[in-house]
Structure 1
Amino acid sequence: MTIASEAPARPKQKHSYSSDDIKRMLPHRWPMLMIDRAYDVVPGVSGRGVKSVSVNEPFFAGHYPDHSIMPGVMIVEAMAQLVAVVYVAEIIETAAAAEATGAPEGGGDPSASVGYLGSISSMKFSRLVVPGDQLTLDAKLGQRLGGLRQVSVRASVGSELAAAGSLIVTTGRKA
């Protein structure tokens, strides 16, 4: 009797992306580009990123001038942009695999596939983020719900948690 065995699933390769790579992946530009680097990105699954917080950020001029605090909404935006990098990395990987097999190229600008932030749930802020801090961002994509995707996100400074919660993002742009 012969038992057919399945080949073990190859773990997905982790990728790193510089700020220049991220500019090619996302439609965001200064002053709204909120991540400096992404690493340990498993396309379509998870990733980590870095946001170096500088006193020169434009929001510090008004939030608060005498006690600079990074607005929570900007922390959430940084986490959402990491989610977009993880999502676009999957699209790029799929296109590269199709091209390698001779399939017609999907083509186009990968940043055009970045969707929108649809919902923020259970977001808790537990530490102030100030100039000089380096935010470490984590994103783990969850289940798909039609054209939506659930995501678990975290931001920390060193070993201290700064924010954590759930997002729902669209998996494409609709006018």
Structure 2
Amino acid sequence: MKQPALGEIVSKDILDLLPHRYPFLLVDRVLEFAPLDHIKAVKGVTLNEPFFQGHFPAYPVMPGVLILEALAQTGGILVVKSIPQQMQDKIFLFTGIEKVRFRQSVFPGDLLHLEVKYLKHKLNLWKIQGVAKVGGKKVAEGLLTAAVVDREDG
């Protein structure tokens, strides 16, 4: 079995970075990461995704809100990996979206490329720019905001 490249973030690492689990974990692998700068990740879209049962059975299309969620999760990895010492007992929560545009549909069999760029943060509020692509073509984009808050397990 091929070992991951130094610094590559694979699915088992993602499970340590994000609280999401099946069926809501929407990032499969991180291809590139630069702290407080950018991250590139991928999500392999398969017909086995549970949302395709209802969206839409005769014409399976990945819901746009889930593409945004995949970008938000990718942004969460960027933040957690950028400031790990400050993320102890914290969680990264998606708080808003702006200037969202959906450009093209995403179908089973597509490899969704998720590109997130760090824009700024102040205190616990973060702003990132997300772009999702398939085959080099932009399928969705938007500005996302999130907050780092105390994790309340209970």
- In the superposition, the TM-score normalised over structure 2's length comes to 0.88
Deviation at 1:56, TM superposition (A): 0.2
Q: Aligned partner of 1:27: which letter?
A: P
Deviation at 1:174, TM superposition (A): 6.4
Unaligned runs of 5+ in 1: 1-13, 96-105
Alignment match of 1:65 (pick from 54, 57, 69):
57
2:113 equivalent to 1:136: yes
Q: Aligned partner of 1:86: which letter?
A: L
Alignment match of 1:55 (pick from 47, 63, 84):
47
Alignment match of 2:11 (pick from 15, 19, 28):
19
Q: What's the Cα RMSD here?
A: 1.8
Q: Which region of structure 1 is more displaced relative to structure 2, 42-51 or 65-74?
A: 42-51
Contact kept in structure 2, 1:50 and 1:137, CA below 8 Å:
yes
CA distance in 2, matches of 1:114, 1:47: 18
SS at the partner of 2:83? helix
CA distance in 1, matches of 2:9, 2:97: 26
Between the two proteins, the alignment pairs up a number of residues equal to 147
Match of 2:96 in 1: 119
Q: Aligned partner of 2:75: which letter?
A: V
Is the strand fraction higher in 1 or 2? 2
Q: Aligned partner of 1:50: which letter?
A: V
Higher Cα Rg: structure 1 or 2? 1
Match of 1:163 in 2: 140
SS at the partner of 1:21? helix
Match of 1:145 in 2: 122
SS at the partner of 1:132? coil
Contact kept in structure 1, 2:90 and 2:151, CA below 8 Å:
no
Contact kept in structure 2, 1:116 and 1:173, CA below 8 Å:
no
CA distance in 2, matches of 1:150, 1:51: 22
What are the Cα deviations for residues 29-48 of structure 1, in whole angstroms up to 9, with x where unaligned? 00000000012111232100
- In the superposition, the TM-score normalised over structure 1's length comes to 0.78
Deviation at 1:159, TM superposition (A): 1.4
List structure 1 runs of 4+ shifted beyond 3 angstroms. Answer: none
CA distance in 2, matches of 1:63, 1:90: 35
Deviation at 1:143, TM superposition (A): 1.2
